[in-house]
Amino acid sequence: MPKSAYSISQNFLTSRRTIARLLALTDLSPADTVLEIGTGKGHITRALAERCQQVLTYEIDPFLAQRLHGSLPDNVRLFQRDFLTAPLPRKPYKVFANIPFNHTTAIIRHLTTSSCPPDAIWLIMEKGAALRFSGTSRESAASLLLKPWWDVHIRYHLQRQDFHPAPSVDCVLMELRRKPAPDLSPRERTSWQRFTTQALQHGLRGMLTSRQINAALREANIPMSATLKYVQWLCLFRWWRHS
């Protein structure tokens, strides 16, 4: 059977040592159900099966899925389908995956805005995307839409030679951990998105006056900075909501 174009375009992580190093940065345990996006050749899948109670893994490529059929451990369930159209588990679960970079935003949105979100997520992704989602140098629309509900951090910087074939971009392991006590309620999501989107596009002055901005930060005992940090965005949103 000929290889599909989809499988040829993937960047596989095959080193057991590298995979073990990444998994050591997680809190995945023998009691966990873990979901994997992109089974690939099964290297990460098998390592997850050794560590967790159950692995639910999704592979859209029929060629790769067929090659893996019958060769994975008994605690692995392989689904040959598009993960983005799949319902998420209703029981507690976590996610660990080397994701296709061109679907990063859609995958994160599917996981984090679901009515059944995971407890924690570890994604191997392009470094530039991880910087946006984590708001490492400055907050972005992507990071602000996550942070009221998720703690987001870059945990590990991979080398390009860790992959086969080597990608043309730098890659990292990003962790998203669901906050036990969110900073905002789900019903505030739309208002938060509207506030941050408009402020990023048109500036805070279109949402609040200078006096209101100073008063809000002073009341919360939060200093003003040239580049707004998440805690400042949250403070100003709450003031805006109740002003």
Query: Could you give the CA distance from residue 76 to residue 59 in angstroms, rounded to a whole number?
Result: 13
Q: Domains in the chain, ordered, with CATH?
A: 5-178 (3.40.50.150), 186-242 (no CATH)
Q: At what angle do helices 43-51 and 16-23 cross, to 10 degrees?
A: 40
**pLDDT of the chain along its 243 residues, tens only?**
334 333 334 788 989 999 999 999 999 999 999 999 999 999 999 999 999 999 999 999 999 999 998 899 999 999 999 999 999 999 999 999 999 999 999 999 999 999 999 999 999 999 999 999 999 999 999 999 999 999 999 999 999 999 988 899 999 999 999 999 999 998 999 999 999 999 999 998 889 999 999 999 998 898 888 789 999 999 999 999 987
Handedness of CA 73, 79, 83, 85 (dihedral sign): negative
Is the CB of residue 239 less than 8 Å from the CB of residue 216? yes
Query: Could you give the CA distance from residue 82 to residue 60 in angstroms, rounded to a whole number?
Result: 5
Identify the pLDDT of residue 226: 77
Question: What contacts 240, CB < 8 A, 6 or more positions away?
Answer: 195, 207, 208, 212
User: b/e map of 129-147 (b: 16 or more CB within 10 Å)?
Assistant: bbbbbbbeeebbebbbbbb
